[in-house]
Structure 1
Amino acid sequence: MRLGEGESARPGARLRAAMAAHKPLIIPGCYNAMSARVLEDVGFPALYMSGYGTSLSLLGLPDAGLVTQTEMALNARLIASAVRLPLIADADTGFGNAINVARTVEEYIRSGVAGMHLEDQVAPKRCGHVAGREVIDRDEAVGKIRAAAAVRDAIDPSFVLIARTDARGAHGGSMEEAIWRANAYLAAGADLAFVEGPASKAEVAEICAAVRGPVFYNMTGISPRMSESEMAELGIAVCILPGAAMRATLMAVHDFATALKEHGPMAEAEFDRRFQQHPVGNLHVFSGFDRIREMEAAWLPAESATKYEGTLGHMPKPAE
């Protein structure tokens, strides 16, 4: 949560309100606090923390079960603290068995996250749109969702629990198995069912028709792209776009680095000229230096403002 700004409702309650107000709720993915701030500034009603984005941005490594619970929960906490929007966070497999899942849910709730999704892959897991996935057996998977639901109910019943199954595209998997698992996870206490990796619009329609509860949809990778109206017609409750911001960042940084290598340091000057014309082009204002000066005026001795006299650089605006 940002300094000096509070919210009375629990994060999960605010996410549930957003889900009720938007049919479907379209949520972009972020990978750190900065990207979350940008998405909030544009005006989205909620955010999603990408596990792939967390692994790649923090470690420079693929989404292959290499990021730890500590790293994921910390990233979730930092993002949730930086924005006012409710945040859904990827929690991978829960980082172990049902006992580990119980601790993961508690960590995420106490981090200020509004909701999380757990998947039924064998550890180490991998991105749901990469071949070679395996899933744990039904009984273990259902037990993990039961554990997650019990902790949610004990600590914060408003927290949104999303159960993901990778059975559609895993080794030996099928749509029939994925739908069975989605319904079993809902019966075990999940709030939404997430069938990863449908390969066609017909499969998405089959999921929406057969799953006995709200459907969470990941529109990326091999899954088909659909308009908001198409998703509404099918009855999708929530749709995430997890990797777009990360890919946009990768592309922009790579293009800038290429220009810098080819044209030298004046390429940075040209970039800065164009950046300053962008809506977020004043980096110091966007990052919050004006807010820092407002807090200084409110809480520090008046003479502390003299440090601004005769100095060079961005001059934060005092409170009006």
Structure 2
Amino acid sequence: MTQSRLRPTTALRKLLADGTFLHMPAVYDALGGRLVESLGFEAAYVGGYVTGGSKAVTEPLLTMTEQVGLAHDVATAIDIPVVVDAGAGFGEPLHTMRTVREFIDKGIAGVHIEDQLYPKRAHYHTYVAHAVPTEEFVQKIEFAARERDARDPDFVIIARSDTCRFFGVEEAIGRVNKAARVGADYGLIFPRNEDEAEQAVKLSDVPLVYVQSRGNRDGRPIISRDDLKSMGYVACIEAQVMLCSAFHFLKECLTELRETGDYTGISGEDFVRARKDVEDLIRLEEYYEVERATVEKGETV
């Protein structure tokens, strides 16, 4: 059986068991997912930051339905596993159980669940950690794991703690380790420097995922994939690379177009190539084949 025919959850588990380092760009639409897959990435990620940004609101204002819906759009368009930001589980333990169930039923391979207050506040983006007590976080992970075990034992649960920013790596990893004892498969924290990034792996009872926060304003380090692998991380989430890069270059494009009435940033040949690449990614030729065999059959121009 090939990986593409496995359940997404099983495929993700197999990749991690085989020692594949997962470098996961955060996508916010199905076309972006197709692009990530076409370039050889083994998994994709749907983050709260990019979903909130793409909807012109913010992650703390997202509903579970919005995040599940966008993640489902991506997951159904690609054959690689999708990992999703499930925020604070969208509520208390009972709500978190439904969150896990919804993501499993929509073909998602895994989620991370954090120890933030719910509903989250917009001030989260100022790096304020509105952390709930450890016991509340652990209980939420415990019931998320219970729902996973009943629904699909291969579904991956990542315990995320945001407390490192204010209380240090030992507090954050302590929370992850307690979450691991009740069923979390992996951990995720936000080290403030490279020393903490290295220390975290040594202190954690479960493998860790790193979040590459490009454009951050709190000084969190950008660490290369090779260095993360050397430290012992098993995956890296590229949280803003696609959304912010697209925004940057689109802003340049539209500024020139508005000011001059023309756009010269891409040559005519490159536009032809890009347009064809988009058509290939959406598999337009497959649609042509169906129409040639049916509604276009025998018609002449």
CA deviation map 1:171-229 (0-9, x unaligned): xx33221111010011110000111x211110011100101111111121343222233
2:205 matched to 1:209?
A: no
> Equivalent residue for 1:136?
132
State the AA in 2 paired with 1:121.
Answer: Q
Which of 128, 147, 151 is equivalent to 1:155? 151
Shift in Å, 1:26: 1.5
2:14 matched to 1:17?
A: yes
CA deviation map 1:50-106 (0-9, x unaligned): 110001112x0233x101001000011111001111000111011100000000000
State the AA in 1 paired with 2:129.
Answer: R
> Equivalent residue for 1:167?
163
Task: Report % sequence identity.
Answer: 31
Q: Is the 8 A contact 1:90 1:118 kept in 2?
A: yes
Quick one: structure 1 residues 254 and 137, their matched pair in 2 at CA, closer, same or farther if it must change by over 3 Å? Answer: same
Q: Is the 8 A contact 2:193 2:221 kept in 1?
A: yes
Quick one: structure 1 residues 235 and 131, their matched pair in 2 at CA, closer, same or farther if it must change by over 3 Å? Answer: same
Distance in 1 (alpha carbons) for counterparts of 2:44 and 2:15: 11
2:255 matched to 1:261?
A: no
Q: Is the 8 A contact 1:96 1:123 kept in 2?
A: yes
2:270 matched to 1:274?
A: yes
- 1:269-308 to 2 correspondence within 5 Å? 273-278=269-274, 281-296=276-291, 302-306=293-297
- Residue 126 of structure 2: SS of its match in structure 1? coil
Distance in 2 (alpha carbons) for counterparts of 1:150 and 1:247: 37
Q: Is the 8 A contact 1:126 1:133 kept in 2?
A: no
Quick one: structure 1 residues 308 and 31, their matched pair in 2 at CA, closer, same or farther if it must change by over 3 Å? Answer: farther
> Which range is displaced more, 147-156 or 29-38?
29-38
> Equivalent residue for 2:300?
309
Q: Which runs of 5+ in 2 are unaligned?
A: none
Q: Is the 8 A contact 1:119 1:164 kept in 2?
A: yes
Shift in Å, 1:246: 0.7
Q: Is the 8 A contact 2:225 2:236 kept in 1?
A: no
Asked which structure has the greater CA Rg, the reply is: 1
- Residue 117 of structure 1: SS of its match in structure 2? strand
Distance in 2 (alpha carbons) for counterparts of 1:141 and 1:152: 17
- Aligned alpha-carbon RMSD (Å): 2.2
> Equivalent residue for 1:233?
230
State the AA in 2 paired with 1:132.
Answer: V
State the AA in 1 paired with 2:171.
Answer: E
> Equivalent residue for 1:316?
none
Quick one: structure 1 residues 167 and 307, their matched pair in 2 at CA, closer, same or farther if it must change by over 3 Å? Answer: farther
Q: Is the 8 A contact 2:72 2:106 kept in 1?
A: yes
Which of 80, 83, 105 is equivalent to 1:88? 83
- Residue 123 of structure 1: SS of its match in structure 2? coil
State the AA in 1 paired with 2:240.
Answer: G
Distance in 1 (alpha carbons) for counterparts of 2:184 and 2:294: 55
Q: Is the 8 A contact 2:88 2:114 kept in 1?
A: yes
Shift in Å, 1:293: 2.6
Distance in 2 (alpha carbons) for counterparts of 1:185 and 1:241: 24
Q: Is the 8 A contact 1:219 1:241 kept in 2?
A: yes
Aligned residues: 294
TM-score (norm 2): 0.90
Q: Is the 8 A contact 1:23 1:232 kept in 2?
A: no
Q: Which runs of 5+ in 1 are unaligned?
A: 1-5, 311-320
TM-score (norm 1): 0.85
> Which range is displaced more, 158-167 or 219-228?
219-228
CA deviation map 1:80-136 (0-9, x unaligned): 001111000111011100000000000000010000110010123258663222111
- Residue 26 of structure 2: SS of its match in structure 1? strand
Q: Is the 8 A contact 2:43 2:81 kept in 1?
A: yes
Distance in 2 (alpha carbons) for counterparts of 1:10 and 1:86: 9
